[in-house]
Structure 1
Amino acid sequence: MVSALAATALTATAATAAPSPGPDHDRHAAVRAVMDQHVKEGIPGVLGRSEDHGATWKGSAGVADLSTGRKRTDRDRFRIGSVTKAFTSVVLLQLEAEGRLNLDDTVDRHLPGLVRGNGHDGTRITLRQLLNHTSGIYNYTADPELAAALTTGFPQHRYDVWKPGQLVGLAMRHQPDFAPGTGWNYSNTNYVLAGMVAEKVTGRSWAQEVRQRVLRPAGLRDTTLPGNSSAMPSPHGRAYSKLKFGPSGPSGPIQDTTELNPSWGWAAGEIISTTGDLNRFYSALVGGKLLPAKQQKELLTAVPTGPGGESAGAAGYGLGLMRAKLSCGTSVWLHTGGIHGSSTLAASTDDGRHTTAFNLNGDWLGDLGALVEAEYCGTVPPAKGHTAQRSPSLEKLTALR
């Protein structure tokens, strides 16, 4: 999720070429080196998996449980945070394909009167602007009340139940970031509203729609939508956080944050999955197996997230997916997700045939971007003190949670 409350920003590191790959079993030497470095620097454990034109690679480093020392396994489930957003986007795009809504509909057409207050106006915001974060709607996870409840107040509030309408109400307390369509800013409120639209249009819950439209067609048998449940399905490791974030970074003792009520993330970030299911999902999604051609084009139409546009090195954002060009020239679609004690990234090449997924079970440091560079470019971080040379678009996108 995007906010300091659930995860630390991912730091940029330089990338240097790894040695030429050796035999097949050593082709992921760069990835293993980056995973080991994360553990050496303090992350309890790292989990990774890739599917490359039919060839599967699985890897891990560190532990799943600091108390028992159990290693992380490929079947372990974890919270994926904002990687959830692509699931929500697919639901709305499929509803558009069925003629039940149009992405150029206003929010007010489906949720009349909900987006109002302090300059917010749902009659001027489209569903497309929700999905590509050009709505200008304030991000509710930046609200001081919720931020306090989910950082320093987490032990007392970890089981709190939040309704979607309450989350939108937190956003309406604040002024919008900009007029609709005039800028770009990542806001979890956009995807809570998208989930509410799906429920209004279908008369069914967002979770039911995701299961029917995404999980079943894509064969995601290990992916779950917990709702108000704080439990993790087995098998799973533990999730760890320091919870306190200040100007100098995370502080305080490591705390076990595995059990929590994820209702505050809902359609923007509640899903639990595995590296295997995330690879299957991104292959189906980017490979065009979940949407008709028109909606697939909409999904992969990226807007610039900074001055100069994507061609100038700034990041691009589609509808629940980020576009980044790596240091070696390879372009990928990806998304990161951060929720207490769990940092996740899923990515795919343009054809959906080379996918990868990584998870860290600690959120106070880490560089998911370095893992992507290692997977697709065969690069590893240099010695400390070198000037950062990683792709500007990747650097920006992996800081979004």
Structure 2
Amino acid sequence: MKTPSSLAVVTALAATLLAGASTPAASAAGQDRPELRKAIQAFVDAGFTGVQVRVHDQQGEWAGSAGVRKLGQSAKPPTNGSFWAGSVIKPFTATLVLQLVADGEIALDAPVAGYLPEYELDRRITVRMLLQHTSGLFNYTGEYYDDGTVVPGIPATGDAWLPNRFRSYQPEELVRLALSKPPRFEPGTDHNYSNTNYTLALLLIEKVTGRPYAEQLQRRILRPLGMSGTMAAGTRTRLPGPHAHGYYQKEDTVVDISRQNLSLLAGAGDLIATTQDLATFSSALNDGRLLPAALLAEMRKPHPKMGYGLGLYVQDLGPGCGTVYQHNGSPPHGYGALMYSSPDGRTTLTGSVTWVDSATRGPAKDFQKLLNELVQEVFCDGPAKPAP
């Protein structure tokens, strides 16, 4: 079903914002935080349709939203609505693997081939290499090389993804496609972010435990922490409960893509979550409730190339800010998710943004700048100073 032209969408969006949706809504859970309201409003001013953010820090809890839940309507995004969280699932997958390491079921530096012989993996590839993206395995959603060469995989972005957005994939299918392609580099010699690593980690979890990944996620993390709004999406195509809508624009047609199938990112990007649940997980992980101290320390050791540990980015924000542990995410289009924590888990920032996406990513080009400003508001002492 086609939706209004891009001009009509922009007009509708402008009307709803002028009607009052541009004023960020703050949660009654905490006091007014004008600096945070300003930071999230900046996303809407830059063209994002909606944003919801939650902050836990020494001032307490604050949750707010700005923009609209759905184009053509005035309602703001829910401050704890569900959203497609994409690669935010990678720290969950890494935590499950490390819990099995703690249980003595998996050895971190053992060959993955010893657990999954059916895939005939290079025996130099270890469990640690999967979690740190140093295996060299081809990314089944395609590889983009520094010289501009592109080796396509399963359509996961752009116009080619749109007609395939409801297709279901099996994890084994994804891995076998990746293994049919030449590796990017020799195991352990470089770093390259590849979804194949985390889909293999899902298969590793299932092989060792004899149970489905989603069941292990519930039993080991979600249920103990009371995270009722989070799940591995699998082949599910609908977000549960209140949620903001994401969009994709192809030429003059704008399509509501709040329904999509993320099984093409099994264990690597198929998460549904809420801001409260992500705050709960991030805090519990970093304050030591989910892993023994030695394994949490392993998780936080960054590879020098991209600052990636075992399922976490280690980010130094500079003087007056310190270090944060984070993993953001985005499914193919229309949604982005945020998850940041201080080393002790006492300060967290979680959120979701929605926009009218396109093959050229639309307002997403401004995402990193806006995100940096929001992160600095939460984790830095006073206004951020420009780098010398």
Give the TM-score range, shorter chain.
0.7 to 0.9
Matches within 5 A, 1:40-59: 40-53=45-58, 55-59=60-64
Preserved CA contact (<8 Å) 2:52 2:80: no
User: Which of 78, 91, 95 matches 1:73?
Assistant: 78
User: Which of 327, 337, 357 matches 2:329?
Assistant: 337
- Structure 1 Cα separation of the partners of residues 115 and 252 of structure 2: 44
Q: Which residue of 2 aligns with 1:167?
A: 174
The answer to whether the aligner puts 1:271 opposite 2:271 as a matched pair is yes
| Structure 1 vs Structure 2 CA RMSD | 2.3
227-236 vs 151-160, greater mean Cα deviation: 151-160
Q: 1:269 to 1:241 in 2, by over 3 A?
A: same
The runs of 5 or more residues in structure 1 that have no matched partner are 1-23, 244-250, 306-314, 383-388, 392-401
**TM-score w.r.t. length of structure 1:** 0.79
Preserved CA contact (<8 Å) 1:326 1:390: no
Q: 1:115 to 1:252 in 2, by over 3 A?
A: farther
**TM-score w.r.t. length of structure 2:** 0.82
Preserved CA contact (<8 Å) 2:340 2:349: yes
- Structure 1 Cα separation of the partners of residues 168 and 279 of structure 2: 31
Q: Which residue of 2 aligns with 1:185?
A: 192
Q: SS in structure 1 opposite 2:329? A: strand
Deviation for aligned residue 1:303 = 1.8
144-153 vs 353-362, greater mean Cα deviation: 144-153
- Structure 2 Cα separation of the partners of residues 187 and 167 of structure 1: 12
Q: Which residue of 2 aligns with 1:233?
A: 240
- Structure 2 Cα separation of the partners of residues 154 and 390 of structure 1: 39
Cα deviation per residue 1:251-308 (whole Å; 9 max; x = unaligned)?
A: 7654311111110011001110111111010000011101122222222222212xxx
Deviation for aligned residue 1:170 = 2.2
Corresponding letter in the other structure for 1:284: A
Preserved CA contact (<8 Å) 1:370 1:380: no
Corresponding letter in the other structure for 1:349: S
Q: Which residue of 2 aligns with 1:37?
A: 42
Deviation for aligned residue 1:97 = 0.8
Q: SS in structure 2 opposite 1:237? A: coil
- Structure 2 Cα separation of the partners of residues 345 and 195 of structure 1: 22
Corresponding letter in the other structure for 2:376: E
Corresponding letter in the other structure for 1:205: P
Structure with larger RCO (C-alpha < 8 A, sep 6+): 1
Deviation for aligned residue 1:370 = 2.8
Deviation for aligned residue 1:57 = 0.7
User: Which of 226, 229, 236 matches 1:222?
Assistant: 229
- Structure 2 Cα separation of the partners of residues 36 and 290 of structure 1: 34
Q: SS in structure 1 opposite 2:350? A: strand
The answer to whether the aligner puts 1:371 opposite 2:368 as a matched pair is no
Deviation for aligned residue 1:184 = 1.0
Q: SS in structure 2 opposite 1:269? A: coil
Q: Which residue of 2 aligns with 1:204?
A: 211
Deviation for aligned residue 1:126 = 0.2
Q: 1:93 to 1:155 in 2, by over 3 A?
A: same
Preserved CA contact (<8 Å) 1:30 1:375: no
Q: SS in structure 1 opposite 2:159? A: coil
Deviation for aligned residue 1:213 = 0.6
User: Which of 102, 105, 110 matches 2:110?
Assistant: 105
Q: 1:212 to 1:360 in 2, by over 3 A?
A: same
Deviation for aligned residue 1:369 = 2.8
- Structure 1 Cα separation of the partners of residues 203 and 277 of structure 2: 25
- Structure 2 Cα separation of the partners of residues 140 and 35 of structure 1: 34
Preserved CA contact (<8 Å) 1:30 1:380: no
Q: 1:209 to 1:252 in 2, by over 3 A?
A: farther
Q: 1:318 to 1:184 in 2, by over 3 A?
A: same
Q: 1:100 to 1:336 in 2, by over 3 A?
A: same
User: Which of 342, 345, 353 matches 1:360?
Assistant: 353
Q: 1:62 to 1:317 in 2, by over 3 A?
A: same
- Structure 2 Cα separation of the partners of residues 46 and 269 of structure 1: 20
- How many residue pairs match? The answer is 340
Corresponding letter in the other structure for 1:377: C
- Structure 1 Cα separation of the partners of residues 198 and 243 of structure 2: 27
